C-alpha cells in the first residue's frame, strides 16, 4: 500500500515536471543563426534562456543553402535572427525576413572585410557594373569573432532575451576564451611565418591575415576525392609556391592523403567551422586545428 | 383608430399619389442623414490612417505628396529616400523604421514593396495562402483579389513605368502567394511584395545567366563580360540563385519610411533630429498633414449643409403645398362627410392621420436607408477614397 502511494506520488511529480518542461520549451524564445559559430556564441551568451537554432542541414554548405518555405516560416517566427554579414549566406537576400529581428553581427567590422574578387558585366544597353565578393569566414580571426559576440550580446540584451548582468558575465568569460585562443594561435602559427600553405578551398583569408600566413587556394569540393585535373593544378601550385602544407576543409578519402603526401605536402584538416564538428565546440575544433598546423610546420 | 383605418384605406385607394409623396418625403429625410454619415465616416477614415502612422520619413518636399504616397499609395511620386536613413533610425534605437516603396503598379493597383514589419504594424493577416517568403512573392489586398478575380497560385506582372520605357524597367512576373483579409483601408487596394522584389522590378537587383566561370573564380581574377547578358523576368526555383543586387543596399531607394517610435520621448528626440531645413530628409507627423487636408476638404461640408437645408425646406414646402392642394381638391368630399354627420374635428383627425401615416412611412424608409448606409459606410468610404487615388 505504502509502495503504491509512493509510486503515485513519484508519478504525479514526474508528470508535473514533464508538463512544466514542455511548457518551458514552448515558451522559450528562439534565436536563429546562419552558421555554427554564431549559434555557439549565442548559446554561450544565452545559457538556457533561449533555444538557438542553426537550421542548415549538415551536408549543405551554409553559404549556399536554399531554405524551403517551411524553413523561412520557422526563421520568420524567431525572436532574433543572427546574420554573419560579409556576404555569408546570400540566401537571406532572396527571402523575406522581419527587419526588426535581424542583427548583422559584423556591422562593426565592415572596415576589416577582405575583398576577394570582382567581376564586371553589362546588360543590353545598360552601363557596366561590378560585383565585389568578400571573404566570409570572419570567425576564423578570433578578434573579429569577439566583435561578433559583442554584437550578439547587445542584441540579446536589447531584445530582453536575457538580463544585462547575466549576458555581461557570460560575455566576459567568452572574451577571455577568445583572448586565450588568439594567444594560442599566434604561438602555434608563428612558426609558419614564411611557410607557403595551400588550402583546398578559399576559406582561411581572415586566419591568414591575422597570423601572417601565406595561403594560396584551390576550389576543391570538401571531403571529395580530387580529380586528376585538380591534382595537376595542385602540382603546378606546389611547384610555383614551394608549399609544404595542404589544408583540407574535411577529411577526404585516405587515397587523397596518399596522393598529396606523395607531392611532399603535409595534410592538415582544418574545419572552417561554418558547420560544427561533431562532439567538439568552436574553441575545441579551432585549438585542435591549430595543433595540427603547428605540428605540420615542424620540419 | 377609425380615423387611422379610414386614412390608410384612403391612401391605399390613391396608392400612386401616396407612393410618390412617401418616396419624396423619404428622400428628403434620407439624403442629409446619409450625407452626414458618409462625410463623418470619410473624415474618421482619413484621420484614422494618419493617426495610426506616428511618423513618416522622406525626402524634403511636399509633405502631402509624401503622406499620400506612403499612406494611401497614391500616384504621387516623392523623391526617393536612401535606405541608410532606415539604418540610421535602427541604430538610434528610438523606433522601428518600416520602408515603403510605391513606385510601381500592376493591373492598375499599386505595388507596395516593404518589410514584414509592415504587416505586424498594420495588423494585416492573410485570409488565404501565406505571407511573403521568397523573393518575387506577392500578397494582394482583398479588393485587388476581387477586382482582378485573382487568387493564390495566379500571377501578376508589374507594369513598365511608362510606355516609352523600352530599355528601362523590365516587367517582373510575380506569383500571388496570399490574399489579405479585408481591412477597409488602402491596404485592400495594394499588392504587397518584399522591398527587395521592388528593387528587382526597378532593375537594381536581377538574375541572369552565369558569366563567371569556375576557373576565373578559382584564379580570383577579374572577369570582364560585356555581352548582352539575358535577364530573367520571372523568379523561379531554377533561377532564384542567380538573383543578386548591385551596389550597397544602404543606397537603395524607398519612397518613404514609416517610423514607429518606442515612446513619446523617442518620437520627440527623432523629430528634433530632422528639424534642420538643410537636411535632405524630413520627418513629419502624417496625422497633422491629413488633419489639415481634411479640414480643408470638409470646409465644403458647411456649404453642403446649407444647400441640403434649403433643398429640404423647399421640398417640404412642396409637399405641404401638394397636401394642401389635395385637401382643396377634396373639398366636396369633405363637405359630403360633414353633411353625413362628421364633425369638423373628425375631418381634421382623418386628414392628420393621413399625413402622419405618410410621414411615418417616409421616416421608416429613410431610417432603413440610413441604417444600410451606416452599416456599409466603412467599405463604401474606403472604395470612394481609393477611387480618389
Q: Which three cell numbers stand for residue B96?
A: 522601428
Position B123 scores a pLDDT of: 95
| B window 206-265, beta carbon within 8 A of A | 206, 208, 211-212, 214, 216-218, 220-229, 231, 240-241, 243-247
Position B220 scores a pLDDT of: 46
Q: Which member of A90, A96, A124 has the closest CB to residue B228?
A: A124
Domain assignment of residue B292, yes or no = no
User: Is A122 in contact with B133 (Cβ distance < 8 A)?
Assistant: no
Task: Let me know whether B313 and B368 are in one domain.
Answer: yes
Higher-pLDDT residue of A72, B169? A72
Task: Let me know whether B204 and B342 are in one domain.
Answer: no
Position B388 scores a pLDDT of: 53
Scanning every residue of chain B, which has its alpha carbon at the shortest distance from the alpha carbon of A135? B220
Position A126 scores a pLDDT of: 47
Question: What is the share, in percent, of chain A residues with pLDDT greater than 70?
Answer: 85
Sign of the Cα torsion A154, A159, A164, A166 reads negative
Position A15 scores a pLDDT of: 57
Scanning every residue of chain A, which has its alpha carbon at the shortest distance from the alpha carbon of B200? A94
* Relative orientation angle of helices B286-297 and B299-329, to the nearest 10 degrees: 30
Task: Let me know whether B151 and B241 are in one domain.
Answer: yes
Q: Which member of B115, B229, B243 has the closest CB to residue A99?
A: B115
Most confident segment among A46-50, A193-197, B318-322: A46-50
SS3 B151: coil
Position B315 scores a pLDDT of: 76
Q: Which residues of B touch A154 (CB under 8 A)?
A: none
Interface test with A, best of B112, B133, B135, B254 (most A CBs within 10 A): B133
Rounded average pLDDT over A252-270: 92
Please identify, among B260, B284, B308, the residue that sits at the C-terminal boundary of a domain.
B284
Total number of domains in chain B: 2
Q: Which candidate, B339, B250, B83, B282, places its Cα nearest to that of A85?
A: B250
Task: Let me know whether B121 and B8 are in one domain.
Answer: no
- CB atoms < 10 A from the CB of A5, how many? 9
Task: Let me know whether B152 and B190 are in one domain.
Answer: yes
pTM of this prediction? 0.78
Please identify, among B255, B284, B313, the residue that sits at the C-terminal boundary of a domain.
B284
Q: How far is CA A202 from CA A150, A294, B227, in A?
A: 26, 20, 28
CA distance A158 to chain B (A): 9
Q: What is the ipTM for the molecules in this complex?
A: 0.81
Task: Let me know whether B61 and B9 are in one domain.
Answer: no
Task: Let me know whether B208 and B130 are in one domain.
Answer: yes
User: Is A76 in contact with B116 (Cβ distance < 8 A)?
Assistant: yes
Task: Let me know whether B255 and B352 are in one domain.
Answer: no
Map chain A to HEC letters.
CHHHHHHHHHHHHHHHHHHHHHHHHHHCCEEEECCHHHHHHHHHHHCCCCEEECCCCCCCCHHHCCCCHHHHHHHHCCCEEEECCCCCCHHHHHECCCHHHEEECCHHHHHHCCEEEEEEEECCCCCCEEEEEECCCHHHCHHHHHHHHHHHHHHHHHCCCCCHHHHHHHHHHHHHHHHHHHHHHHHHHHCCCCCEEEECCCCCHHHHHHCCCEEEECCCCCCCCCCHHHHHHHHHHHHHHCCCEEEECCCCCHHHHHHHHHCCCEEEECCCCCCCCCCCCHHHHHHHHHHHHHHHHCC
pLDDT one-digit tens code per residue, A217-244:
998 988 889 999 999 999 999 999 989 9
> What structural domains and CATH numbers belong to chain A?
28-118+131-180 (3.40.50.1980), 188-297 (3.40.50.1980)
Position A14 scores a pLDDT of: 59
Domain assignment of residue B289, yes or no = no
Q: For cell 620540419, name the residue.
A: A299
Domain assignment of residue B291, yes or no = no
User: Is B246 in contact with A129 (Cβ distance < 8 A)?
Assistant: yes
Task: Let me know whether B318 and B277 are in one domain.
Answer: no
Q: How far is CA A281 from CA A46, A285, A287, B302, in A?
A: 16, 6, 10, 75
Position A7 scores a pLDDT of: 58
**pLDDT at A120 exceeding the cut of 80:** no
pLDDT band, residue A209 (cuts 50/70/90): very high
User: Is A72 in contact with B206 (Cβ distance < 8 A)?
Assistant: no
CA distance B36 to chain A (A): 42
Position B36 scores a pLDDT of: 82
CA-based end-to-end distance of chain A: 75
Domain assignment of residue B30, yes or no = yes
Average pLDDT of chain A to the nearest whole number: 88
SS3 B74: coil
Task: Let me know whether B67 and B201 are in one domain.
Answer: yes
Position A10 scores a pLDDT of: 59
Task: Let me know whether B279 and B335 are in one domain.
Answer: no
Q: What residue numbers bound the domain in which B38 lies?
A: 2-46+298-388
pLDDT one-digit tens code per residue, B130-139:
999 999 999 9
Domain assignment of residue B290, yes or no = no
Interface test with B, best of A121, A133, A160, A219 (most B CBs within 10 A): A121
SS3 B281: strand
Give, for B112, the enclosing helix (H) or strand (E). Answer: strand B109-114
User: Is B116 in contact with A73 (Cβ distance < 8 A)?
Assistant: no
What is the rounded (10 degree) CA torsion for A168, A174, A180, A181? -150
Instruction: Mark the ranges of chain B whose per-residue pLDDT is less than 50.
Output: 213-228
Please identify, among B259, B284, B309, the residue that sits at the C-terminal boundary of a domain.
B284
Q: Rounded distance, CA A4 to CA A7, Å?
A: 5
Domain assignment of residue B211, yes or no = yes
Position B229 scores a pLDDT of: 52
Task: Let me know whether B320 and B351 are in one domain.
Answer: yes
Q: Which residues of B touch A129 (CB under 8 A)?
A: 246-247
Q: Which candidate, A54, A132, A97, A81, places its Cα nearest to that of B135?
A: A97
Domain assignment of residue B303, yes or no = yes
Q: For cell 374635428, name the residue.
A: B345
In a 13 Å sphere around the CA of A252, the CA atoms on its Cβ side amount to 22
Position B208 scores a pLDDT of: 67
Amino acid at each position: 500500500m505504502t509502495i503504491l502511494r509512493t509510486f503515485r506520488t513519484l508519478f504525479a511529480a514526474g508528470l508535473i515536471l514533464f508538463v512544466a518542461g514542455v511548457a518551458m520549451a514552448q515558451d522559450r524564445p528562439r534565436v536563429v543563426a546562419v552558421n555554427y559559430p554564431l549559434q555557439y556564441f549565442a548559446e554561450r551568451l544565452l545559457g538556457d534562456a533561449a533555444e538557438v537554432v542553426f537550421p542548415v542541414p549538415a551536408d549543405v554548405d551554409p553559404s549556399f543553402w536554399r531554405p524551403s518555405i517551411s524553413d523561412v516560416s520557422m526563421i520568420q517566427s524567431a525572436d532574433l535572427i543572427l546574420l554573419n554579414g560579409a556576404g555569408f549566406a546570400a540566401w537571406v537576400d532572396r527571402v523575406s525576413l522581419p527587419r526588426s529581428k535581424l542583427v548583422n553581427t559584423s556591422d562593426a567590422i565592415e572596415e576589416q572585410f577582405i575583398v576577394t574578387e570582382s567581376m564586371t558585366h553589362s546588360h543590353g544597353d545598360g552601363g557596366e557594373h561590378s560585383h565585389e565578393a568578400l571573404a566570409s569566414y570572419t570567425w576564423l580571426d578570433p578578434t573579429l569573432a569577439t566583435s561578433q559576440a559583442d554584437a550578439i550580446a547587445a542584441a540579446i540584451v536589447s531584445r530582453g532575451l536575457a538580463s544585462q548582468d547575466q549576458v555581461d558575465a557570460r560575455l566576459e568569460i567568452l572574451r577571455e576564451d577568445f583572448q586565450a585562443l588568439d594567444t594560442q594561435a599566434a604561438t602555434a602559427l608563428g612558426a609558419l611565418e614564411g611557410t607557403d600553405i595551400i588550402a583546398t578551398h578559399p576559406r582561411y583569408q581572415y586566419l591568414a591575415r591575422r597570423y601572417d600566413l601565406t595561403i594560396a587556394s584551390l576550389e576543391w569540393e570538401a571531403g571529395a576525392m580530387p580529380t586528376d585535373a585538380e591534382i595537376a593544378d595542385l602540382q603546378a601550385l606546389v611547384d610555383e609556391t614551394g608549399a609544404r602544407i595542404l589544408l583540407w576543409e574535411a577529411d577526404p578519402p585516405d587515397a587523397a592523403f596518399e596522393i598529396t603526401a606523395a607531392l611532399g605536402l603535409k595534410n592538415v584538416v582544418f574545419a572552417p567551422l561554418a558547420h560544427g564538428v561533431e562532439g567538439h565546440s568552436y574553441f575545441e575544433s579551432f585549438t585542435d586545428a591549430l595543433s595540427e598546423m603547428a605540428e605540420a610546420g615542424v620540419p | 383608430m377609425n380615423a387611422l383605418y379610414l386614412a390608410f384605406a384612403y391612401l391605399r385607394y390613391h396608392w400612386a399619389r401616396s407612393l410618390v409623396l412617401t418616396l419624396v418625403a423619404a428622400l428628403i429625410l434620407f439624403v442629409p442623414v446619409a450625407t452626414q454619415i458618409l462625410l463623418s465616416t470619410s473624415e474618421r477614415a482619413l484621420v484614422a490612417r494618419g493617426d495610426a502612422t506616428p511618423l513618416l520619413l522622406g525626402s524634403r518636399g511636399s509633405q502631402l505628396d509624401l503622406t499620400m504616397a506612403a499612406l494611401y499609395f497614391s500616384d504621387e511620386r516623392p523623391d526617393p529616400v536612401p535606405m541608410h536613413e532606415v539604418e540610421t533610425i535602427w541604430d538610434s534605437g528610438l523606433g522601428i523604421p518600416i520602408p515603403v516603396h510605391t513606385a510601381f503598379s500592376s493591373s492598375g493597383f499599386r505595388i507596395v514593396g516593404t518589410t514584414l514589419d509592415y504587416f505586424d504594424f498594420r495588423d494585416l493577416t492573410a485570409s488565404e495562402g501565406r505571407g511573403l517568403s521568397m523573393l518575387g512573392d506577392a500578397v494582394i489586398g482583398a479588393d485587388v483579389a476581387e477586382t482582378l478575380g485573382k487568387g493564390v497560385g495566379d500571377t501578376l506582372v508589374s507594369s513598365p513605368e511608362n510606355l516609352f520605357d523600352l530599355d528601362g524597367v523590365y516587367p517582373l512576373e510575380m506569383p500571388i502567394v496570399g490574399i489579405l483579409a479585408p481591412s477597409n483601408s488602402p491596404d485592400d487596394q495594394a499588392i504587397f511584395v518584399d522591398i527587395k522584389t521592388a528593387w528587382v522590378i526597378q532593375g537594381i537587383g536581377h538574375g541572369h545567366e552565369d558569366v563567371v566561370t569556375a576557373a576565373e573564380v578559382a584564379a580570383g581574377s577579374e572577369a570582364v563580360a560585356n555581352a548582352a547578358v539575358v535577364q530573367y523576368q520571372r523568379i523561379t526555383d531554377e533561377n532564384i540563385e542567380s538573383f543578386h543586387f548591385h551596389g550597397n543596399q544602404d543606397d537603395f531607394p524607398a519612397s518613404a519610411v514609416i517610423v514607429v517610435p518606442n515612446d513619446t520621448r523617442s518620437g520627440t528626440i527623432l523629430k528634433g533630429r530632422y528639424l534642420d531645413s538643410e537636411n535632405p530628409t524630413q520627418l513629419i507627423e502624417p496625422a497633422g498633414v491629413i488633419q489639415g487636408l481634411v479640414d480643408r476638404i470638409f470646409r465644403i461640408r458647411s456649404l453642403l449643409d446649407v444647400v441640403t437645408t434649403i433643398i429640404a425646406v423647399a421640398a417640404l414646402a412642396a409637399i405641404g403645398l401638394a397636401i394642401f392642394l389635395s385637401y382643396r381638391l377634396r373639398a366636396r368630399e369633405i363637405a359630403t362627410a360633414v353633411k353625413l354627420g362628421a364633425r369638423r374635428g373628425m375631418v381634421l383627425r382623418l386628414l392628420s392621420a393621413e399625413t402622419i401615416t405618410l410621414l411615418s412611412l417616409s421616416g421608416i424608409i429613410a431610417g432603413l436607408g440610413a441604417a444600410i448606409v451606416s452599416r456599409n459606410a466603412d467599405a463604401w468610404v474606403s472604395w470612394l477614397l481609393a477611387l480618389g487615388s
